């Protein structure tokens, strides 16, 4: 699996939160042995801990829906030759952290071009953590085209496409278990739905109470959601 992280900004720099999260993401990827499988895409040069970003043009910024850029940019990355055939890519938000190793075979995407989760407690698609192959270019182009036409977000675009099975998209994608995106709401019920160990945790570490839930187990299960390895990385950056 390749780990893909995208940040495009008209200011050509990380905002304070993402500057910290970028370091956590790099350290986490290195800790998981992903040095050669980690792609950080920016529109400005960046280097941390021996990892350099891949710099793309400013035209990849989309002011009307900046939060959907990581989804909209996928066809462009494919056209640049950055997406390798036969590989599965994990494309995610800066505040989505891989807690445990993920093997391609566990995703069971042999017949799917892309894999998405919903919110677990809610059936709406959640695109903060997405898996895809090079064969999914048209799927992401459909999402991009919908956003271009309506200025809606990527989750709304995917919902529109799947509800109408536009272009037969439902035969091209797979719904993944919520373990690949444990978000900030209704963590306890999502924990029950998830295969264990939890693979991806998605939360803002500075929002009140969330570190207590994920790091210290202050939730109804009484179980810390984060691996000890990931906790050490957060502690290294004084997020504790």
What pTM was computed for the model? 0.97
pLDDT in tens, the chain (240 residues): 999 999 999 999 999 999 999 999 999 999 999 999 999 999 999 999 999 999 999 999 999 999 999 999 999 999 999 999 999 999 999 999 999 999 999 999 999 999 999 999 999 999 999 999 999 999 999 999 999 999 999 999 999 999 999 999 999 999 999 999 999 999 999 999 999 999 999 999 999 999 999 999 999 889 999 999 999 999 999 999
Determine if residue 212 is left, alpha or beta; phi over 0 gives left, psi from -120 to 50 gives alpha, anything else beta.
alpha
Q: Which two three-digit tokens encode residue 225?
A: 């959601």
What does 167-178 look like in DSSP terms, one character per residue? GGGGGTEEEPPG
**Tokens of residue 196, six digits:** 């264990």
Describe the strand order of the beta sheet including 173-175 as a list of residue ranges: 54-55, 38-42, 2-7, 89-92, 125-132, 114-118, 173-175
Give the bridge partners for 177, in sequence order: none
What's the distance, CA 80 to chain centroid?
20
How far is CA 39 from each of CA 4, 26, 36, 43, 165, rounded to the nearest angstrom?
A: 5, 10, 8, 13, 31
Map out the domains of the chain as residue ranges: 2-236
β-strand pairing of 89-92 with 125-132: antiparallel
Q: Write down the CATH number for the domain with range 2-236.
A: 3.90.550.10
């Amino acid at each position: 699996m390749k780990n893909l992280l995208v940040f495009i900004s008209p200011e050509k720099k990380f905002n304070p939160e993402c500057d910290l999260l970028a370091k956590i993401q790099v350290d986490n990827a290195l800790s998981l042995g992903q040095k050669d499988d980690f792609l950080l895409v920016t529109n400005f040069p960046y280097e941390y801990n021996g990892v350099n970003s891949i710099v793309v043009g400013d035209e990849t910024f989309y002011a009307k829906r900046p939060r959907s850029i990581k989804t909209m940019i996928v066809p462009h990355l494919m056209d640049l030759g950055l997406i390798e055939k036969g590989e599965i890519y994990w494309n995610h938000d800066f505040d989505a952290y891989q807690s445990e190793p993920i093997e391609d075979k566990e995703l069971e995407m042999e017949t799917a071009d892309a894999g998405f989760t919903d919110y677990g407690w809610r059936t709406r698609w959640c695109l903060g953590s997405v898996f895809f192959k090079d064969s999914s270019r048209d799927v992401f182009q459909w999402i991009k085209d919908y956003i271009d036409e309506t200025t809606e977000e990527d989750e709304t675009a995917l919902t529109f496409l799947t509800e109408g099975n536009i272009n037969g998209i439902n035969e091209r994608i797979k719904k993944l278990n919520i373990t690949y995106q444990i978000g900030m709401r209704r963590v306890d019920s999502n924990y029950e739905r998830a295969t264990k160990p939890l693979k991806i945790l998605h939360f803002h570490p500075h929002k009140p109470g969330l570190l207590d839930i994920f790091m210290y187990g202050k939730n109804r299960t009484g179980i810390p959601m984060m691996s000890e390895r990931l906790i050490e990385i957060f502690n290294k950056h004084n997020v504790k």
